[in-house]
Structure 1
Amino acid sequence: MKNHAFRLTPIAFAILSLSAHAQTAPAASTLPAVEVSADQERQSSPKATAPLVDTPQTVQIIPKEVFNEQGARNLTDILRNTTGITFNGGENGFATSTANFSLRGFDTSGNIFVDGFRDSNSYNRDAFNLEQVEVVKGPAADNGRGAAGGYVNLETKSPKLQNFATGSVSFGFDSEDSDNRQRITADINRVLSETSAFRINLLAEDGGVAGRKHAQVNSIGIAPSVAFGIGTPTTVTLSYQHVTQKDRPDFGVPGAIVEGLQTYNPAFAGVSRDNFYGLLSDYDDVKSDSFLAKVEHRISPNVLLSNHTRWARTDRDARFMVFGNPAVAAGTENVSTSRAGYNRENNSLANNTNLSVKLDAGGVKHNLAFGLELSREEADATGFGNAGTGPTNIFNPDPGRADPSLPVTQTSTVKVDTAALYAYDTIEFNPQWQLTGGLRAEHYKVSINGTNAAVDGYDVSETTFGGKLGVVYKPASNGSVYVSYGQSALPPGSFLSNSDISRSDAAAFPGLTGQNSQGSRVQKAANLEIGTKWDLLDNRLSTTAAIFRTERSNIGMGPTANGPTGYGKQIVQGIELGALGRVTNAWTISGGLTLLDSERKHSAAIDDAIRSTGDYGPGVLSTNGDELAFTPKVTANLWTTYRVQPSLTVGGGVQHVGSAYIGRPDNADRVIKNGRYGKTPSFTVLNLMAAYEVNPNLTLRFNIDNVTDKEYVIASNWNAQRVMLGAPRTFLVSADIRF
């Protein structure tokens, strides 16, 4: 049995010692308090050729000021600040169920980027070293192959020409039988010379999971970075990040105990929501390392040449429990359980060379970006067969029951090589009219070799084209109205994050016999959007509104031994509203609303092929016209703070997610009929926060999440046999320190 307890006290002492040492910095170098405002919004990519207010696409920036106030730990917590996000139910070998997610109805787990580079594998990404998170919605091929919903980019912290030291010590607890939670972070920046600086971010965390008995989260992290030539024509930045996570994973509770689900059974009304159906020997270990080198040379005031290189390695090894439907007979209220496993190591090396040029040609202004991207991605995976552990009582599960070893059934190695050329331009014809567009040509080659004959020898090579074009009209300098079109491609064989790549059976997501068979077509995603953006109140408040229609086509469906029976489409259209910034110097807001309508379109032949698998159920003839599973019609959120007096700030937030059909996600070869397993109930959660500045060096913060202690489902597997519950009413006490 693995020991997953980090000793937090020595780490905490080291972090606080570093912070105390930084207190010797002169008072004039102290970092001032930063407030959220519209003019802080920046898209970090060198491919972005227009400011956000003039970018003809929905882009949401979530700054660290917002998610730090909320006590967010990881990317899952941060993404609750954007609408149109739903979290997946941990199918197909994943040991945790909220690290993977869908955006606007489309799985986006394989479209997470760090500093502009694709970051593969399924794992929880910590927030301790993040400057901001950028959510770009709709396909546009900015970073190559991608999902129809868009992509998420995590911008990490970098050195500044200021001496400062900040840190946070927090303690979290709730009224359930979960363990208390402790977390310490530190962010220390030192000026080395007039043009160079060093920065280090540190993390230590241990404790439980809110509302879940026996589940554990334990992490340590370090992220040093150094920059030379800041403010000069040539800047070199070197960054490294290491995070080790040693968790005890949790796969949720039986859907039969949750009121509002179709699978709910009143016989289990007394089952506690914090019951743990795993084993004390379960583990989910992740070790991630990354190195980033950025060289930026300003050739002239209007020409910038940059070269960025990132190497990353993520190794995840997990053993966990899955469970089936409980028995109902009195005295035998048992849940069948079995042990499962996940083991994958991902390595990547990628380089981007970009040339940004501003020029005026005949009175027409251009802001151009040209570039070359090269990458090699590799993944080695081990597939395991499930091992039965016998039943456990649904009312009083035994976490110490038998711990069987897992048989290795398959191993495989995936290699993906990518080479891409791109060009983007924003053309300003006059102060009122702009045209923003670009094209990306990408050569993609994937090969898979393994012990399973269906996997071994897989080889796909494709050259794809994607891009975007948008017309922008500016009725005023602080506003824009636009219409845009974007398109991206997804070749077969994107196995690095989305599924357990060792599996080849029909139950795998996405699997090798349908949309990802060697002979399957390249999927296309296209997005048409009409919107407007305004920076209001002296550019303190950014507001957006958009109407969009996204269509994903060439989706292989009705899998057979020789590939798909045919090809279908998925359509999602809707309205999105957003706001971020300061209404007054004392009042900040961050919020949004998304309304979605989704639909599947496919032929009768595809229905016949899928119906033969038994997924449709008796009497069901077609799923053509059905909504996408786990795609709620309404999602909304709001976070707001108000400075009551110089030393006291109060705030709060609300998150609403509408009901959604339970079934298989958009990238599954097999489809579940709407209504067969019911819907996930809608929910609304209220959170509150108060912060008191004791002195310029110390602020105390108190968060209450889920104030009404609502029980709600945040993720479900395909038939609601098991679900993940949102956290109960939780309390977080934090001390934010700065010098």
Structure 2
Amino acid sequence: MIRRRLISAITTGATLAGGSALAQPAQQAMTDEIVVTGRYQADKLSTPQHALPLVDTPQSVTVIADDMMAEQGRRTLRDAMRNITGVSFQAGEGNPPGGSDAFNVRGFSARDDIFVDGIRDPGNYFRDPFYAERIEVTKGPASAFAGRGNVGGTVNIVTRQPQMKNRIGGEVGVGTASFYRGTADINQVVNADAGIAVRLTAMAHSAGEPGRDHVENKRWALAPSVGFGLDGDTKIILSYLHLRQDDRPDAGLPNGRNFSLGGSGFEGRVAPVDRSNFYGYATDYRDVETNTVTARIEHNFSDSLSIGNITRYARVHNDQIISSPRFVGTVTSLGPNTQAVGNRKPRNQVDQLFINQTNLTATFDTGAIKHTLVVGGEYVDESNENRRRLDANGPATSLFNPVLQSAAPIAYNGTRARTDVESAALYVFDTIELTEQWNIVAGLRHDWVKTRARGFDDVGTLPNFAIDYTIKDSEWSGNAGLVFKPTTNSSLYVAYGTSFEPGSGAEVVQLAGGNNNPPVTGANFFVEPETSQAWEAGAKVELMDGALQLSTALFQIMRDNARTPGVNPGDPAVVLDGAQRVRGLEVQAVGRVTARWNLFAGYTHLDGKVTRSNRPFEVGQRLDGAPAHSASVWTSYAVTDDLLVGGGMQYTSRRNSNVRASATADFVIVTPSYTVFDAFAEYQLTDRVSLRANVYNIGNETYFYSFASGQSIPAASRSGTLTLSFEM
């Protein structure tokens, strides 16, 4: 995609004007033109509940802009999320499956907290941002905005919509490790008078994984959309996504989690083997089909009153066998004779989602006070069903010199595990502009959630597997923020938010086929929701007349009723007597430093730990996936009108993967820290064609981007791509 844009600058180097039109006031002298890329910076969030500009929004927010994703060579949601500090990735095992985006934000799982255009998206697939305009990440508890979950943060993918402008664009790329990728973005005005336009975005991708043996990633997608009345008071947009994935998945290298390794020096570490080692099988596969239909209707009654409705149906079918590496037998040390085996974890799961959300937005004054009021409601019906095949080990191989071999098929064992979550919510938000210096943002939401967990014995051989449990939860959530503006381009704020997490998630209800136990026990299912509260205080300022935004925040998230085993007489098996706490600092700089220099930089410190648990070994331990330090920098510089160069760095300190304990020992499984550097150069061949070269992991660092208790997955080794972009 061509991101070059002409702006005017004063020869003395005066600062640029802010806002969407980056130009100096007309009365100032303009003498020369320079070419720069987009700003990386967004003005505000896309959801109606967030009415203020980002500089005045009382919450930590990071937006990954389209220009930056293009410079980095967008491929997956995970690629974009690597820019977000305070985020770590889970490798996934059987539950949740290794076929979905799974990550932690500020130490808490956000696998089910992914949204597309402001409403919930099923979590069981890897997302490709080929059709994304930008990605918005809001930090901290946000159930008032988004319902259940949303403890550490929420991810919202804003998609490309039809526009009243003809356009044809795309990219074609090749690279190391058999990388081939093509994308297209076509927008066509059908009827200008009626405001009708169609848009088609498409993608085809095929690649290995640099530095990893036998891993394959193939996918293609189509995302057509049509808009009616785009320039009028009533606007209708219909969109569809079809995505197919056909991979040989990667479960990485085994972690030394066996208690028999205690005292060997290998306990709690990733096995010291070559990072290219693959412990899966030639017969491993991941076949995912995603279909999503969305209808959006918006009507403006006047300049101060509007209503919007969005309806979505989504179906994701994930059929896979992914082999998690394990040591063979009782190992007390690791040597040339140690063997490994792939613990094959099948999944044949269908996730379905129906959601309908309506928002009424009104702006009005009460005396000298201005209000932006959003009143809305939401209905969600979501189901997840897995036709179970039990986990099974494949053939053994050498730990240090594995060979690729086939494994026998795994048959359906006649059982199904299913969850159904039905929820309804009502909410109200008011953005109150008291004066030019003081704002209040407040929101209140009530959710009614009914969760049903079932186990089906279709062949009549496992009657104990058949269960049918239902629980109903009713929860209030709230967010409030007070904003003080010392100047028109800065703000200070304090904010408070809550969230709740019912027992319907993958961490509670086991849909996978590890054994023939029921998907959940009554003692584990009939538990009140976990709740969390957070405080945040921060400051934001726009410099360079709005072109550069700096922000910082101090925050604390408390979960005072975390799940933990019951230990007192009369306790059920699971009680809400645990506690977890995250304290942290976040700093961010996003935007344009000079007319030619763009910057995206962030740092997060997390002090996340278990403060109370009925398992004594957990107390004082760091939360899984909560690095103490993480930093990210991406920058670009227009050397000439036609040459753009840049690159970035990402640092993440060591992370806990899991705390393991037995009756006689416990130890922490740790994924080590890493620093990785990337770079790119882009040359404008013509006004409509550019060529970009990207080099990733310049230092060929061995590091692990995602992990679980049993395994850690190496990130790509040094690699490169060459991409031709065009726009007409």
Q: Same fold, TM exceeding 0.5?
A: yes
Call closer, same or farther: CA 1:409–1:480 in 2, change over 3 Å.
farther
Deviation digits for residues 222-276 of structure 1, max 9, x if unmatched? 011111111211111111110111111111123479xxx953899986x432122
Deviations, residues 153-208 of structure 1 (Å, cap 9, x unaligned): 111110112111111111121xxxxx411010011111223222111001111121
Farther off after superposition, 443-452 or 672-681: 672-681
- The alignment status of 1:640 with 2:645, answered yes or no, reads no
| Aligned twin of 2:133 | 131
Alpha-carbon offset, residue 89 of structure 1: 2.7
State the distance in 2 between where 1:405 and 1:484 align.
Answer: 51
SS of the equivalent of 1:645 reads coil
| 8 Å contact from structure 2 (residues 343, 392) kept in 1 | yes
In the aligned structure 2, how far is the partner of 1:537 from the partner of 1:294? 37
Indicate the residue corresponding to 2:8 in structure 1: none
Distance 1:409 1:149, change over 3 A: farther
1:360 matches 2:360 = no
Report the counterpart of residue 439 of structure 1 in structure 2: 444
CA distance in 2, matches of 1:406, 1:263: 36
Matching residue of 2:185:
187
Superposition pairs of residues 170-569 of structure 1, within 5 angstroms: 170-173=173-176, 179-194=177-192, 195-255=195-255, 263=266, 271-325=273-327, 332-406=337-411, 408=413, 410-451=415-456, 453=464, 456-495=467-506, 500-502=510-512, 512-513=520-521, 517-558=524-565, 562-569=572-579
Supply the AA of the counterpart residue of 1:127: P
Distance 2:169 2:41 in 1: 23
Contact 1:113 1:153 in 2 (8 A): yes
Q: 1:336 to 1:405 in 2, by over 3 A?
A: same
Provide the residue aligned with 2:700 in structure 1.
Answer: 709
- Distance in 2 (alpha carbons) for counterparts of 1:213 and 1:370: 53
1:255-312 deviation line (CA, Å, top 9, x unaligned):
479xxx953899986x432122111111101100111111111100111111111111
How far is 1:129 from its partner? Answer: 0.7
Task: Tell me the SS of whatever aligns to 1:696.
Answer: coil
Q: Using a 3 Å threshold, how does the CA distance of structure 1 residues 629 and 331 change in structure 2: closer, same or farther?
A: closer
CA positional deviation for 1:678: 4.6
**Is 1:724 aligned with 2:713?**
yes
Cα pair distance change 1:307/1:663, threshold 3 Å: same
Kept in 1: contact 2:387–2:412 (CA 8 A): no
Q: How far apart are the structure 1 equivalents of 2:556 and 2:375? A: 28
Query: In structure 2, what is the Cα distance between the partners aligned to 1:575 and 1:488?
Result: 20
- Which digits, 9 at most, give the CA deviation of each residue in 1:474-499, with x for residues without a partner? 1111111000100111122234x987
Partners of 1:155 and 1:293 in 2: CA distance: 15
The answer on whether the counterparts of 1:661 and 1:675 sit within 8 Å (CA) in structure 2 is no
Label 1:728 to 1:507 Cα distance change in 2 as closer, same or farther (>3 A): farther
Displacement of 1:405 in angstroms is 2.0
C-alpha separation in 1, matches of 2:256 and 2:426: 52
CA distance in 2, matches of 1:411, 1:506: 11
C-alpha change, 1:267 and 1:385, in structure 2 (3 Å) is closer
Q: Aligned partners of 2:334 and 2:467: how far apart in 1? A: 46
The reply to whether residue 110 of structure 1 matches residue 99 of structure 2 is no
> Within 2, Cα distance between the matches of 1:427 and 1:249?
50
Residue 106 of structure 1: how far off its partner (Å): 0.4
Query: Deviation of residue 506 (structure 1)?
Result: 12
TM-score in terms of structure 1 length: 0.86
Greater Cα offset, 334-343 or 399-408: 399-408
- The unaligned stretches of length 5 or more in structure 1 are 1-14, 16-31, 174-178, 608-620
How far apart are 1:556 and its partner, in Å? 1.9
Q: Residue 250 of structure 1: SS of its match in structure 2? A: coil
Question: d(CA) in 2 for partners of 1:385 and 1:238?
Answer: 40
CA gap of 1:39–1:184, structure 2 versus 1, over 3 A, is closer
CA positional deviation for 1:441: 0.8
C-alpha spacing 1:292/1:671, structure 2 compared with 1 (3 Å): farther
Match of 1:689 among 669, 674, 680: 680
C-alpha RMSD of the superposition:
2.9
- Kept after mapping to 2: 8 A contact 1:698/1:737: yes
Deviation, 1:673, is: 12
Q: 2:607 aligns with which of 566, 580, 597?
A: 597
Kept in 2: contact 1:91–1:97 (CA 8 A) = no
Residues of 1 paired with 2:672 and 2:270: CA distance? 20
Contact 1:89 1:97 in 2 (8 A): no
SS at match of 1:408: coil
Q: Paired residue for 1:628?
A: 623
CA distance in structure 1 between the aligned counterparts of 2:251 and 2:162, rounded to whole angstroms: 39
Q: Which amino acid aligns with 2:559?
A: R
* CA distance 1:532–1:503, change in 2 (3 Å): farther
Distance verdict in 2 for CA 1:498–1:461, change over 3 Å: closer
Unaligned runs of 5+ in 2: 2-33, 258-263, 458-463
Change in 2 beyond 3 A, CA 1:633/1:292: same
Could you tell me the TM-score, scaled by structure 2's length? 0.87
Number of aligned residues = 675
What letter is aligned with 2:359? Answer: N
The answer to whether the 8 A contact 2:659-2:666 is kept is no
Q: 1:64 to 1:664 in 2, by over 3 A?
A: farther
Which region of structure 1 is more displaced relative to structure 2, 376-385 or 439-448?
376-385
Distance 1:456 1:639, change over 3 A: same
Aligned to 2:15: none
Structure-2 separation of matches of 1:222 and 1:673: 55
1: distance between equivalents of 2:85 and 2:61?
Answer: 12
Code of the residue aligned with 1:705 in structure 2: it is: Y
Contact 1:104-1:572 at 8 Å conserved across structures: yes
Seen in structure 2, the aligned counterparts of structure 1 residues 305 and 360 have a Cα distance that, compared at 3 Å, is same
Q: How far did 1:383 drift?
A: 2.8
Equivalent residue for 1:149? 152
CA contact (8 A) 1:113 1:154 kept: yes
Select between 98-107 and 435-444 the one with higher mean Cα deviation.
Answer: 98-107
Provide Cα deviations, 1:492-532, integer angstroms capped at 9, x if missing partner.
2234x987435698999xx8459x82331221111100001
Q: CA deviation at 1:675?
A: 7.7
Whether contact under 8 Å (1:93, 1:340) holds in the other structure is no
| Counterpart AA for 2:531 | K
- Which amino acid counterpart does residue 548 of structure 1 have in structure 2? F
Matches of 1:654 and 1:546, distance apart in 2: 22
* Cα deviation digits, residues 634-680 of structure 1 (max 9, x gap): 01101000000010000000000011233159xxxx99999814522
2:176 matches 1:169: no
